[in-house]
Amino acid sequence: MQWCGVGTSLRYRLTLVSGILECLCFAGLVFGFTSLVFVLKKDGYFSALCVSGTGTNSTDCSRQDEQFSLIFTIASFLNNFVNLIIGYVFDRFGTLVTRLLGISLYTTGTLLVAFSSAAFSNLLFPALSLIAVGGVLFLLTNMQVGNLFPAHRSTIITLCNGAFDSSSSVFLLIKILYEQGISLRSSFLVLSLCSIIHLVRTFVLMPRTHIPYTLPQYYNYGLNCGKANTYNVEQFEKMGDGAMPGSGEKDNMPPAAQDGTEAQDSEKEVASFWSCVLSWFFMLNLLWLSVMQLRHYLFIGTLNSRLTRLANNDPDLVSQYTNAFAMTQLCGVLCAPWNGLIMDRHKGKPLAPGETEQEVDLRSSIMSLFLTCLQCLLFSVCASIPSLPLQYLTFVLQVLNRSFVYGGNAAFISIAFPASHFGKLFGMVMSLSAVFSLLQYPCFALVKGALGGDPFFVDIALIVLTLLVFIHPAYVFIHCRKVAQNREDNTQIKVDKGSIMAEAKF
């Protein structure tokens, strides 16, 4: 029981710092695939698919590029699609089971890459997919750490997602080590051994079930603290299917149920999972995420071939821009908290009469959602211009927007819907957006085939599609105005009734 004697505040901070580091170093490696592709090509993976050009000294490696693009497409698809199952496992079985599953998948994936070779290139298909799924399990279990710091909850959730984005730079480190003589196998064996760290953290610094929101008094977790927190956690999770006493059940209502007189009936019970899924907030958030995610996935998955074309097949120039792109990914962990600060800017301020915490949270999210849409539009425009130096600006806009997208998505779900459904709703939106992201491969095939390697027209189509994402912040804005107007009308009615009753007494 010595660990339980450690100050609660210190334990919370250790959990937060170690969680951010875990996301930063391991969770989103697959999105640094561009750097890894450079190494894989050097080692001859899928090189048998390259064909020498007739009568020239050039070599056509478009089929090799297609294989790498397909690997990334499948891995990024599974990274999101399995979130529905993962969300259910997390909500149903808790943190311990979820993390043990993630560690198993992640370790298997890194070992498969370590023991792959040019002769066994197809091992990359299951390997990258397992790394992607294992990484998102780390992210999901770490986002709940925000519940330990209620005043900064959205900031911490976005910080975890920013660290997730920045972890893609680990593949840049592997590329640099490779150029210094460290083999790909050695690097991935080290990543496999790091699973020991994940196991220690799982049992020492994470709860067996969930971190509730809001926190019960004297909440403990971690090694030998099970008996200290079991009663509190079970009691809180059973009340209202996740509604916490003192938190105000109205804060857990789906946004669609707060208009008009339905709000009074919804206060009595937490909304069902399917009522949340069928709400406009969920549908528009899904559209918002799906479109921007497709834009980012297509950019990352085709970046190597895009840079090769713009650099006129100069490998040194391609390596230079690949390194620059990977370096910008490190900034994700620095960009994401700004989104959280935007969403948490109202914390600590008194509420207006009759105003709920959820209503204020939703109103604060409007600016975040709008800025994210604007960033994606600017990123899409820059990406469509075939200028190699301009890609530096494209890289900056891409990492800024990506850090806002995923952090904002998770924070919005935590605000708009009941905490007891967070894992399932997060998994559902990520899974459905993954289906939409499969369009990246036919887009890649279209560019390589009918468009002769020029992605200009596909980029223009994506710019037009990006304009649709502005519907989401517009709807949230209209919803908040409607709720505020209803509250003012109800307040005025009460004042009028009070005046009539006072006059009747006289």
Comparing 92-96, 137-141, 424-428, 463-467, the range with the smallest average pLDDT is 424-428
Q: What angle do CA 72, 73, 76 make, to 5 degrees?
A: 80
Contact assessment for residue 222 and residue 3, using Cβ atoms and an 8 Å cutoff = yes
Burial classification of residue 5, based on how many CB atoms lie within 10 Å of its CB (0-12 exposed, 13-18 middle, 19 or more buried): exposed
Q: What is the model's pLDDT at position 56?
A: 55
CA distances from 375 to 65, 115, 405, 440, 453 (A): 29, 40, 10, 20, 26
**Is 269 or 476 the better-scoring residue by pLDDT?**
476
How do residues 242-261 score in pLDDT, each as one tens digit?
A: 333 333 333 334 444 343 33
Burial classification of residue 47, based on how many CB atoms lie within 10 Å of its CB (0-12 exposed, 13-18 middle, 19 or more buried): middle
Q: Torsions phi, psi of 60, nearest 5? A: -90, 110
- In sequence order, what are the beta bridge partners of 59? 52
Contact assessment for residue 240 and residue 249, using Cβ atoms and an 8 Å cutoff = yes
How do residues 113-144 score in pLDDT, each as one tens digit?
A: 999 999 999 999 999 999 999 998 999 899 88
Is the confidence at residue 474, as pLDDT, over 90?
Answer: yes
Is the confidence at residue 378, as pLDDT, over 80?
Answer: yes
Contact assessment for residue 292 and residue 278, using Cβ atoms and an 8 Å cutoff = no
- Residue 350 C-beta-side C-alpha neighbours within 13 Å: 2
- Give dist(CA 57, CA 53) in Å, integer: 7
Q: What is the model's pLDDT at position 248?
A: 36
pLDDT classification of 240: cutoffs 50, 70, 90:
very low
CA 77 from centre of chain: 13
Percent composition of the chain: helix, strand, coil (DSSP 3-state, to 5): 80, 0, 20
Q: In the numeric block, which tokens belong to residue 430?
A: 């990520």
- How many other CB atoms are there within 10 angstroms of residue 396's CB atom? 16
Report the Cα–Cα distance between both ends of the chain, in Å, rounded: 68
Is the confidence at residue 57, as pLDDT, over 90?
Answer: no
- Give dist(CA 114, CA 186) in Å, integer: 7
Average pLDDT in the chain: 81
- Give dist(CA 78, CA 306) in Å, integer: 24
Comparing 46-55, 192-201, 469-478, the range with the smallest average pLDDT is 46-55
Q: What is the model's pLDDT at position 435?
A: 84
Comparing 37-41, 166-170, 381-385, the range with the smallest average pLDDT is 166-170
Q: Torsions phi, psi of 52, nearest 5? A: -70, 135
Q: What is the model's pLDDT at position 381?
A: 93
Is the confidence at residue 218, as pLDDT, over 70?
Answer: yes
Q: What angle do CA 171, 175, 178 make, to 5 degrees?
A: 135
